[in-house]
Each structure stands twice: as C-alpha cells, then as structure tokens.
Structure 1
C-alpha cells in the first residue's frame, strides 16, 4: 500500500500538536469499487474539508491501495481528545456524509480508535504490526534528537529551575513534537523497514 497525501484534503490546522496523552485517532478502512473512485475521492475531499473546520481536529493521513479487485483506503483522522471526536460524529455534516458512503463501498466500512502514539505506526491493511523492538527503535530515533534540541533551547530559561521541572519542560515539548510531525514522518520514511514485503517462494 502506498501513502497518498492530497493537499486539497488537508487543513492548516494539522500543524497543531495535540496535548500529550489525550489525542485520539479514528482509523477508517473503506474498500471502494474501482468504478466509483472518482466520485468517492470527491466525496472524501468534501468530508475532509468539513473535518478541517471542526473544533478539536488535528489532522489526517490517507493510505491508498489501488492494486486489488477493489481499492482500499485507510484514513487516520486525529482529534485532540475523545470529546472532540464524539462532537464531530454528532455533526450534521458527518451524518449526511455517511448516508452517501454505501454508493462507493464494496463491503462494510471498518472503524477503529487508537490513542497516543499507537495509530501513527500506520500499518497497511492486512499486515501485522511491526515487532516491539522496531517500534522502540523508531521512538528513540524520533525522541532523542528532540530531547537534545529542547534541552539546549530551554537551558537559558530553565537553567535555574529544579532538575525535575527542567526535565518536565523538555519532555513535554519533545512528546508534543514526537506526536506530530516527527513520528508520522518517520513511519512513512521507514515503512519498507517496518513493513518488509514478504515475497512468495
């Protein structure tokens, strides 16, 4: 599955970082008939534009696989907290969009929710999650430079603070930037290593 990011579906608000530990991601898997691809993507752009105007929306990421008998789209929609996600689900725009979805899809739509960093290891459909040791390595590669950067930048401000307070400030900023954009970017750059292709013998 290849990553597909359409700038027309994104809002400038996706540069905002969610509060550490409270972000929630709705993961939607849709299998779309090839004859409906153009209509589906137009529908998706309208839906994503509406999400971009919703309070609490952080950003979205779309994975698209057109190689099978039906196209498969995995959309990760991130909100600041569960209350923001529930507020979005209650909107007329979302409810109206759902009434159109059956026109495009070839099977039941799958929904899953994930909190924290879990969803940004955005595995392609039908592939197992990477082993824990790979997730740990990606996390260290992402967070170590952030810790060093913010420890240096904050030193003039926090130099006289107690050690625990200075560490807390560094850890908070590092966690925010790890959630967005560092970890999503790393998961895409390292996708061949995280999800190696298994070739039939």
Structure 2
C-alpha cells in the first residue's frame, strides 16, 4: 500500500459534439471529490487542439494524499454518480494510470490503436531526468531574469517560495506537456532505438 501521495490520470474519448457536456460532468466529479478526506486536487485537461492525431481525448487528474483515501473516493457513491453522468458523452473504455512524483508529466496512456495488453512502460529514469532538466533550466532562468529583479529586496524564503511555485505551475501546465509531446518518440523508444 502506497504511503505517499497518489495521482490518477484518467483518459476518456469524447463523443463528437459532447465536449462541453463532458467537461461540465468531469468538473462536477472534481467538485465532489474535494469533500473527500485526503483530496489534494483535481483538474480537467481538454484535448490538445494542436495535436495531429485526430483523437478527442479528455484527461482528468485526481490526487490524494494516500492510496487509502484514493480508494475511498473510487468506491464512493459520489464517484459512481459522476461516472453515470459522464457515460453519455464518451465512447470506449476509460484508461486509468496511477502515478507518483514526476511520473504524471511522463505518463503515456495506451492509444486506442495499440494492441491489447498493459499500458506503455514509463520511460527510463535517466530520460525523465534529462527532459525535466530541459524544462526546468530555461524556466528557472527566465523567472530569475523577469521576476527575480522585482523581488530583489524580498527575504530569501519568500523569493524561493514564489519562484518554485511558478516553476511548478509553468512546468505542469505549459512546459512539461509540450516537451513530452515533442520528445515522446525518444522518451518511449524501445531500448534498442534509444
């Protein structure tokens, strides 16, 4: 049983024309999850409009402080009702990945054209480290050049707090999704291709 925080990434394919209704139903599920013990956050990620794969995949992220609290949410009546509300707006089965730490940035759910079997293996840790550094270095540098001078008179702890908060937000919602999309063939290459 996991002793640390657990994040779940759920992927659903939206029926044509059902995007807004699906997003509203998912938002209601996230709202319901907030009342459960150990809930750390949730977010809907809309389909990438720039993607050229033609897939209308919505993602929902739920995070709980322990696996026990996650299981309580997953077995709840509130979640069951949420899944019923989502059902008319999706096609196919949901894909679920549980990840921890930085794994959420690099999770690659199975594609509908993939053969049956387990989800894609996560990339090797050294590749995760390289891509993480490729995102964090320019992000931190840009923040030190832009935001840093504005906080030059601040005490050290508040400056570090603001910079690290901005790094996490920018990496999670802007830099990491793009890097992992641009580098996905390298990140998930078979060992002999790497």
Q: Any idea what SS the aligned residue of 2:97 has? A: strand
Q: Is 2:36 the counterpart of 1:50?
A: no
Partner of 2:45: 63
Taking the TM superposition and a 5 Å limit, the aligned residue runs for 1:86-105 are 86-105=71-90
Partner of 2:180: 194
Cα deviation, 1:24-43, whole Å, max 9, x if unaligned, reads 01110100112222221221
* Displaced runs of 4 or more, over 3 A: 66-70, 120-134, 137-143, 180-185, 190-194
Partner of 2:64: 79
Q: How big is the shift at 1:190?
A: 4.2
Closer/same/farther in 2, CA of residues 129 and 190 from structure 1, 3 Å limit? same
Q: TM-score, normalised by structure 1?
A: 0.58
RMSD, aligned α-carbons: 3.8
Q: Distance in 1 between matches of 2:178 and 2:80?
A: 37
Closer/same/farther in 2, CA of residues 190 and 37 from structure 1, 3 Å limit? closer
- Gaps in structure 2 of 5+ consecutive residues: 112-119, 141-155, 185-194
Q: TM-score, normalised by structure 2?
A: 0.59
Closer/same/farther in 2, CA of residues 98 and 191 from structure 1, 3 Å limit? closer
CA contact (8 A) 1:121 1:184 kept: no
Q: Distance in 2 between matches of 1:191 and 1:75?
A: 14
Partner of 1:37: 19
CA contact (8 A) 1:130 1:195 kept: no
- Gaps in structure 1 of 5+ consecutive residues: 1-20, 146-151, 154-173
Q: Any idea what SS the aligned residue of 1:185 has? A: helix
Closer/same/farther in 2, CA of residues 132 and 111 from structure 1, 3 Å limit? same
Task: Tell me how many residue pairs correspond in the alignment.
Answer: 150
Q: Distance in 2 between matches of 1:183 and 1:59?
A: 14
Partner of 1:5: none
User: Using CA pairs below 8 Å that are at least 6 residues apart, which structure has the higher relative contact order?
Assistant: 1
Taking the TM superposition and a 5 Å limit, the aligned residue runs for 1:52-201 are 52-65=34-47, 71-121=56-106, 126=111, 132-137=125-130, 139=132, 182-183=167-168, 185-187=170-172, 188-196=174-182
